[in-house]
Copies of this chain bind each other. A is one copy, B any other.
Amino acid sequence: MATISDVAEKTGLSKATVSRVINNHPYISKEKRELVYKAMEELGYQPNPSARRLRGQLTNTIGVIVPRIVNPFFSYLVDAMEQVAYENNYQVLMFQSDEKKDKELYFLNLLKTKQVDGLIMTSIENDREVIESYTEYGPILFCNEYKSRSDLPVVRVDQAEAAYLGTKHLLDRGYRKIAYCTGGLFVEDGKDKDRNVGFQKALNDYNINVNTGWVFVNKHTIEDGKHVMKQIAEMRERPDAIFTGSDEIAAGVLMEAKALGMKIPEDLAVIGFDDQPIAEMIDPALTTIRQPIKEMGTESVGMLLRLLKNHPLEQKHQELSVELVVRSST
């Protein structure tokens, strides 16, 4: 593989000069500059990123950690980030943490060892202190998830408002017995907490208390949704609506309801979360809360790039708004 020395030799110049050309330094004669370009072209020369990194260079690469790439919310989010990064001449490396602490640590180490210039975390497994300790090596930004006591930059949607909006919608439609799914496991922190707050607030507006028998925790998948529906079907006193917390769960609920011969929304109104492609395709089409995925991606990458250029951030916390998408399931 051609190295900078090869280019230097071929042009009769020094490595230093070649390096300057590569890095667009000023004060180089036009002829030599072009000479170098020509030689680079002919040799198929590509700078070796490892060597550059060793010298402490930036890599024009940012890393994005997602919990599960098969979750469309995250694949679309990464996709949006990729677009913006590409326009700014940055590459995106995607990592799947699988919700495992050790994998997440591995990726944080990529920052430590300068494999990536900065990191966007769309999920958080390790403790706040652990993650913050890595900011020494490059900027880290939370997108979607966050830790409330951390002062790392965050791009997120107002989850409390989102949950409030969705629950309010159900209440406005006349449903009063509302079940609730959450992905979190009684977390004290982060977005699940916020959603709980919004849910409660909406119920409060209507002077309704939460029925803890209708609260399902640690739910994520389509299978979980089916299971929830089964449980509900067996209840003596059933809810008349359910806030599912994700379109996957909602889809599972819908499918199982269909299998059980129940009518949506007559027997049970269902509201999803995310507005994923399936929301529109499933029957009945899902009422859901649309997260501004594109905007989240754009905003995160934008902020991270500003951070990388040491530009000051106008605000460390970007809070985006959600939108209620009413379809046929409520």
Contacts and interface: CB of A to CB of B under 8 A. Distances in A.
Interface of A: 1, 46, 48-51, 53-54, 68-70, 72, 75-76, 78-79, 82, 86, 91-96, 98, 103, 106, 109-110, 112-115, 137, 222, 251, 254-255, 277-278, 280-283
A91 B281 CA distance: 35
A92 B96 CA distance: 8
Contact of A94 (B93, B106, B280, B282): B93
Nearest to A285: B255
B96 A93 contact: no
Contacts of A222: 277, 281
Contacts of A54: 48, 50-51, 54
A78 B82 contact: no
A108 to B, nearest CB: 10
A93 B95 contact: yes
A117 B113 CA distance: 18
Contacts of A278: 277-278, 281
Given A70-B72, A95-B93, A281 B46 contact: no
Given A1-B112, A49-B110, A50-B53, 9 more contacts: A1-B113, A48-B113, A49-B115, A69-B75, A70-B75, A70-B79, A86-B103, A93-B95, A115-B115
Contact of A69 (B79, B106, B112): B79
Contacts of A93: 93-95
Nearest to A221: B277
Contacts of A48: 54, 113-114
A66 to B, nearest CB: 9
Q: Which of A51, A69, A76, A113 has the most CB of B within 10 A?
A: A69
Q: Which 3 pairs between the two chains have the least Cβ-Cβ distance?
A: A283-B283, A50-B53, A94-B94
A86 B277 CA distance: 30
B113 A50 contact: yes
A251 B281 contact: yes
A5 to B, nearest CB: 14
